[in-house]
Amino acid sequence: MNQTKLIRSLLVVGLLTIASACTGSDQNGNKKITLKDAFEGKFSIGVALSTDQYKGLDERATPIIKKQFNSITPENDMKWMHIHPESDVYFFDDADDFVEFGEEHDMFIIGHTLVWHSQTPRWVFEDEHGDPL
């Protein structure tokens, strides 16, 4: 695992741990406030989502995301390599699912960097014969 992925993973785990500690009830049965409710009217509480999270496949993270956050951005699904993987192919299914998740849970939706140096499709750097430019 490279250092960037390790740092990102540790950050996500840390944020989810903090978020999970902000819910539930105290010893007297009083409901604890969520992160998004604690800062309502001041600023949004956002998170970057993986495909599994917004499609509900991450059974541990998705409920925490729905409860604690009110702003979302996709990790990778709106980057060029996913949206436009080949010169004549467009794929918006995952991006549409992401937006649907956000709308369904009344979240502020932020797109992502469309062009990213390490996730630019190979066809961008090739001519019509597949030769490097």
In the chain, where are the structural domains located? 3-76+86-111
pLDDT band at 17, cuts 50/70/90? low
pLDDT number for residue 31 = 77
CB 102 within 8 A of CB 73: no
pLDDT at 84 over 70: yes
pLDDT at 94 over 90: yes
CB 97 within 8 A of CB 54: yes
Q: Other C-beta atoms within 10 Å of 63: how many?
A: 13
Pairwise CA distance, residues 3 & 31, whole Å: 38
Give the phi and the psi of residue 29 in degrees, each rounded to 5. 85, 5
Average pLDDT, the chain: 87
pLDDT number for residue 32 = 85
Higher pLDDT: 26 or 131? It is 131
CB 71 within 8 A of CB 65: no
pLDDT at 120 over 80: yes
Looking at the chain, which runs of residues are DSSP E strands? 46-49, 71-74, 108-109
pLDDT at 26 over 80: no
